[in-house]
Structure 1
Amino acid sequence: MLMKGNCQIAALGTYFPKQVVTSRELMREIKSELHYGISEHWLSEVCGIDERRVASAEELPSVLAIKAAEQALSESGINARDIDAVIFCGISREWLEPSIAHKVQHELGCTNAISFDVSNACHGFMNGIIIADSLIQCSDATHVLVVTGEASSDITNYYVDKLRNNSASLQKELGALTLGDAGAAMVLTPKIDGRGFQYFNFYTNAKYTDLCKISLDKKGRYEGQMVMGKISSVGIRLHSALIEQTYLALQWQPMDIAHFICHQTGRKPHQRMSEVAKVSPQIMPVSYKHYGNITTATIPVNLYNVQATPNQRVLIAGAGSGISISQSGFIA
């Protein structure tokens, strides 16, 4: 599905918990060499993930999102009361209802904003952006706040306990060891002078839903699997089939791109995405090394980190289990 962009980024914000947990610590915890015949250095050497941030008990998903949003609002110069909509896009949440966006709206003082959640695995933030874009196009909304707060370390801790007791399949649960915690926020406003999002290209193939699926049983325990090698391979194949259509809509060539930002689960998929887009890995910022897979926060965090200069062209490739993917072009 191709959609023309109508919004631009007024500001971005990020937040990371202070606690750092290394990949070696996790692998040592599950006794990877004894139980699975895998080196303690495997996550670092093969996946490229050295460490990740872990939220404290007080750093709930809403708290991570609020801290990032405070930075984004401050840098945008937009008063919280002028925000027309708050969209929370995280996988993590501290309750089932109401939406986490309600807490974010209240704590920030966005008293005039409608609030709701959007959920679509790691792809949720990109879905939040196109919904914000549609609100800006089809209503009188002029300031939309898209936020996320991911505290996925509770999933990691659960599977570490299972793997420590040699009661799980490392191949199926390995993805849980790659996760990291973070908050991110983006303030979107109507596009002017040609800058901002140019086109969005979204695609879903639900045939692969079971490759990465986490649920809770009746006792509140996690169950499911995260077959990251397979889901990454399929995701890259889907991106490859879509990229020429995206370039055609944007009327861009690979050499036009200053920064290429994509969802990150580890080193190998990241490198392969440079081949898909036909761009140099040198223009692809890396977050997985120090933060792991920060799920819905990946795209906004990397957009924040590159600090694109005016008129630079940025290609964005989102992905999430299901499988959902997107490609979009943004002019800073």
Structure 2
Amino acid sequence: MPSQIVTSQELMREIKSESNYGIPENWLDEVCGIEERRVATTGDLPSLLAIKAAENALKDSGVQPSEIDVVIFCGISREWIEPSIAHKVQHELGCTNAICFDVSNACHGFMNGILLADNLMQCSDATHVLVVTGEISTDITFHYVDKLKNKKASVKNEIGALTLGDAGAAIILTPKNGTDGFQYYNFYTNAKHANLCKISTNKDGGYDGQMVMGKISSVMVKLHQSLINQTYAALNWHPTDINYFVCHQVGKKPHERMSTMANVPHSIAPISYKKLGNITTATIPINLHNIKYKSGDKILIGGAGSGLTISQTGLTF
């Protein structure tokens, strides 16, 4: 995590939310449930956050860098177009035996990376796959802060940019051992919703697009609802079997609706949005890192990203 903290009220004060738009300064706190987020400092790069997270993962797992067979970088943020950021991660960590590539799929990228890692281990001799991300999404935030404070943007369509936060995360995956590990993947994409959250760079080096978070969240929950019974049946799990429900998080109301959708109590769905905001691809791995699981626990994971794409999977320890 970057050490710098920026509160939601500081951002709302910066855009003059009350005088410009008639929105209270505590709106992000009260409505979205997002009080603050971590913000990378000058000189931080997506690869740096990813490398720091990967160093922790290697230390915690006892895996040596030379044992890593594949490095997959899954972030939205990147400091260059080519080569893949995974190459820099591989080099800096000393994973000299690893092949490298990037996967990009908005906030859903990390779950795509896990799926690819699983498939690589099944169809090749790969035994250790490093899936990693580093996100500096607040460069988008501050671009839209400047636009919003000067009334050059639509607060309805672009205030979602103020929910973002920076973070790095990493997981090292190995082949399944008995019944432990990822059990089932249920992925679905409905691309007709791609325009709801779309950010592009412009010729001036800034960003164009929109983040219509209310509509995105509503569609996301509905898509999850359409798959959840199929997922439970494939896993042979019931809602009462779930010890934790880890899902992508963009704010308070969608998070609560997701646990209701899965028919599990809110109390078993860990929260990261309150202090970290929407940390995009890092959301699911960071929440997995923070839960206090024990052997035999069942974890239901609900991924999501603009496009719109979702996934549901089971994880047992």
Among 95, 99, 107, the residue aligned to 1:114: 99
1:78 aligns with 2:63: yes
CA distance in 1, matches of 2:252, 2:234: 29
Match of 1:165 in 2: 150
Work out the number of aligned pairs and report it.
Answer: 317
Are residue 151 (structure 1) and residue 119 (structure 2) matched? Answer: no
Matched with 1:207 is 192
Aligned residue number for residue 182 of structure 1: 167
Residue 307 of structure 1: CA displacement? Answer: 3.0
In the other structure, the counterpart of 1:247 is 232
Distance 1:204 1:308 in 2: 30
Match of 1:225 in 2: 210
Secondary structure, counterpart of 2:184 in structure 1: strand
Report the identity percentage: 68
Q: What's the secondary structure of 1:68's corresponding residue? A: helix
Give 1:266 shift: 0.1
Alpha-carbon shift at residue 220 of structure 1 (Å):
1.9
Map of 1:89 onto structure 2: 74
State TM-score, norm by structure 2. 0.99
Counterpart CA distance in 2 for 1:218 and 1:26 is 26
Gap regions ≥5 residues in structure 1 = 1-15
Residue 303 of structure 1: aligned partner: 288
Query: Which amino acid is the alignment partner of residue 285 of structure 2?
Result: P
Report the aligned-residue RMSD: 0.5
Q: C-alpha offsets along residues 178-223 of structure 1, whole Å, 9 cap, x if unaligned? A: 0000000000000012100110100000000000000012222200
Q: Which amino acid aligns with 1:248?
A: A
Which whole-Å deviations, capped at 9, do the CAs of 1:65-111 have from their partners, x for residues lacking one? 00000000001100000100000000000000000000000000000
Q: Give the whole-Å Cα distance in 2 for the aligned partners of 1:170 and 1:285.
A: 29
Query: What TM-score, normalized by structure 1, do the two folds share?
Result: 0.95
**TM-superposed deviation, 1:57:** 1.6
**2:222 aligned partner:** 237
Match of 1:36?
A: 21
**Matching residue of 1:319:** 304
Matches within 5 A, 1:40-51: 40-51=25-36
- The 4+ residue runs of structure 1 with deviation greater than 4 A are none
SS of alignment partner, residue 120 of structure 1:
coil
Partner of 1:11: none
1:69 is aligned to 2:54: yes
Question: Shift of the alpha carbon at 1:325?
Answer: 0.1
Q: C-alpha distance in 2, partners of 1:214/1:155? A: 9
3-state SS of 2:10 partner: helix
Q: Aligned ranges for residues 100-139 of structure 1 at < 5 Å?
A: 100-139=85-124
